[in-house]
Amino acid sequence: MKNIVLIAGAFYGLISIILGALGAHAFKKILSVDKLLSFETGVKYQMYHALALLLLGFSLSFTSNLEKFAACGMIIGTFLFSFSIYLLAFSEYWNVNLRILGPITPMGGICMIIGWACLLFYFIKSN
Protein backbone atom coordinates (compact mmCIF):
# COMPACT_ATOMS: atom_id res chain seq x y z
CA MET A 1 0.00 0.00 0.00
CA LYS A 2 2.83 2.38 0.88
CA ASN A 3 4.34 2.01 -2.59
CA ILE A 4 0.97 2.58 -4.30
CA VAL A 5 0.43 5.78 -2.31
CA LEU A 6 3.92 7.07 -3.16
CA ILE A 7 3.51 6.22 -6.85
CA ALA A 8 0.08 7.89 -6.95
CA GLY A 9 1.48 11.00 -5.25
CA ALA A 10 4.42 11.24 -7.63
CA PHE A 11 2.19 10.59 -10.66
CA TYR A 12 -0.35 13.22 -9.62
CA GLY A 13 2.47 15.70 -8.96
CA LEU A 14 4.01 15.06 -12.38
CA ILE A 15 0.71 15.38 -14.22
CA SER A 16 -0.30 18.52 -12.33
CA ILE A 17 2.96 20.27 -13.26
CA ILE A 18 2.53 19.33 -16.92
CA LEU A 19 -1.15 20.34 -17.02
CA GLY A 20 -0.46 23.52 -15.06
CA ALA A 21 2.18 24.56 -17.59
CA LEU A 22 -0.12 23.74 -20.49
CA GLY A 23 -2.95 25.66 -18.84
CA ALA A 24 -0.75 28.72 -18.32
CA HIS A 25 0.42 28.74 -21.93
CA ALA A 26 -1.19 26.55 -24.59
CA PHE A 27 -4.69 26.20 -23.16
CA LYS A 28 -5.09 29.97 -22.64
CA LYS A 29 -5.53 30.24 -26.39
CA ILE A 30 -8.30 27.67 -26.68
CA LEU A 31 -10.29 27.74 -23.41
CA SER A 32 -12.62 30.46 -22.19
CA VAL A 33 -11.69 32.28 -18.99
CA ASP A 34 -14.32 30.35 -17.00
CA LYS A 35 -13.18 26.98 -18.35
CA LEU A 36 -9.55 27.87 -17.69
CA LEU A 37 -10.35 28.80 -14.08
CA SER A 38 -12.09 25.45 -13.60
CA PHE A 39 -9.12 23.69 -15.18
CA GLU A 40 -6.74 25.49 -12.81
CA THR A 41 -8.88 24.43 -9.83
CA GLY A 42 -8.44 20.82 -10.91
CA VAL A 43 -4.68 21.30 -11.19
CA LYS A 44 -4.43 22.92 -7.75
CA TYR A 45 -6.41 20.22 -6.00
CA GLN A 46 -4.42 17.56 -7.79
CA MET A 47 -1.13 19.09 -6.61
CA TYR A 48 -2.38 19.54 -3.04
CA HIS A 49 -3.31 15.87 -2.91
CA ALA A 50 -0.11 14.77 -4.64
CA LEU A 51 1.86 16.39 -1.83
CA ALA A 52 -0.47 14.99 0.82
CA LEU A 53 -0.13 11.48 -0.63
CA LEU A 54 3.66 11.74 -0.62
CA LEU A 55 3.59 12.83 3.03
CA LEU A 56 1.24 9.98 3.90
CA GLY A 57 3.36 7.49 2.00
CA PHE A 58 6.50 8.51 3.84
CA SER A 59 4.96 8.81 7.30
CA LEU A 60 2.25 6.15 7.68
CA SER A 61 2.62 2.39 8.01
CA PHE A 62 -0.81 1.55 6.51
CA THR A 63 -1.51 -1.09 9.10
CA SER A 64 -4.92 0.31 10.07
CA ASN A 65 -8.02 0.63 7.92
CA LEU A 66 -8.21 4.37 8.65
CA GLU A 67 -4.78 4.88 7.11
CA LYS A 68 -5.74 2.84 4.07
CA PHE A 69 -9.13 4.56 3.66
CA ALA A 70 -7.47 7.98 3.97
CA ALA A 71 -5.07 7.21 1.15
CA CYS A 72 -7.69 5.50 -1.03
CA GLY A 73 -10.12 8.39 -0.55
CA MET A 74 -7.49 10.86 -1.65
CA ILE A 75 -6.30 8.78 -4.63
CA ILE A 76 -9.78 7.99 -5.95
CA GLY A 77 -11.20 11.39 -5.07
CA THR A 78 -8.42 13.30 -6.77
CA PHE A 79 -8.80 11.25 -9.92
CA LEU A 80 -12.58 11.70 -10.07
CA PHE A 81 -12.49 15.37 -9.09
CA SER A 82 -9.60 16.70 -11.14
CA PHE A 83 -9.89 14.57 -14.25
CA SER A 84 -13.63 15.18 -14.58
CA ILE A 85 -12.92 18.92 -14.37
CA TYR A 86 -10.27 18.61 -17.10
CA LEU A 87 -12.68 16.82 -19.41
CA LEU A 88 -15.52 19.23 -18.67
CA ALA A 89 -13.23 22.20 -19.33
CA PHE A 90 -12.53 20.87 -22.82
CA SER A 91 -16.05 19.72 -23.66
CA GLU A 92 -16.91 23.04 -25.32
CA TYR A 93 -13.67 23.09 -27.32
CA TRP A 94 -14.18 19.50 -28.46
CA ASN A 95 -17.85 20.23 -29.11
CA VAL A 96 -18.83 17.15 -27.10
CA ASN A 97 -21.57 16.97 -24.49
CA LEU A 98 -19.88 15.65 -21.34
CA ARG A 99 -22.52 16.84 -18.88
CA ILE A 100 -22.80 13.27 -17.68
CA LEU A 101 -19.47 13.93 -15.93
CA GLY A 102 -21.00 16.78 -13.90
CA PRO A 103 -21.97 14.53 -10.95
CA ILE A 104 -18.55 12.86 -10.99
CA THR A 105 -16.79 16.02 -9.79
CA PRO A 106 -18.68 16.29 -6.47
CA MET A 107 -18.37 12.52 -5.98
CA GLY A 108 -14.62 13.00 -6.21
CA GLY A 109 -14.83 15.85 -3.72
CA ILE A 110 -16.76 13.63 -1.32
CA CYS A 111 -14.10 10.93 -1.64
CA MET A 112 -11.41 13.49 -0.83
CA ILE A 113 -13.40 14.69 2.19
CA ILE A 114 -13.78 11.09 3.37
CA GLY A 115 -10.02 10.59 2.95
CA TRP A 116 -9.25 13.66 5.05
CA ALA A 117 -11.86 12.67 7.66
CA CYS A 118 -10.30 9.20 7.95
CA LEU A 119 -6.91 10.82 8.42
CA LEU A 120 -8.33 13.09 11.14
CA PHE A 121 -9.93 10.14 12.95
CA TYR A 122 -6.69 8.17 12.63
CA PHE A 123 -4.76 11.00 14.33
CA ILE A 124 -7.40 11.36 17.06
CA LYS A 125 -7.48 7.61 17.65
CA SER A 126 -3.70 7.26 17.77
CA ASN A 127 -3.32 9.81 20.58
What sign results for the dihedral spanned by CA atoms 121, 109, 42, 67? positive
Beta strands in 11-126 (DSSP E): none
- For residues 33 and 37, give the distance between their C-alpha atoms in angstroms, rounded to a whole number: 6
- Each residue of 77-114: pLDDT tens digit? 999 999 999 999 999 889 999 989 889 999 999 999 99
- For residues 86 and 25, give the distance between their C-alpha atoms in angstroms, rounded to a whole number: 16
pTM of the model: 0.92
Query: 3 and 62 in contact (C-beta within 8 Å)?
Result: no
- For residues 51 and 69, give the distance between their C-alpha atoms in angstroms, rounded to a whole number: 17
- Each residue of 25-67: pLDDT tens digit? 999 889 999 999 999 999 999 999 999 999 999 999 999 999 9
How far is residue 61 from each of residues 29, 43, 93, measured CA to CA in Å?
45, 28, 44
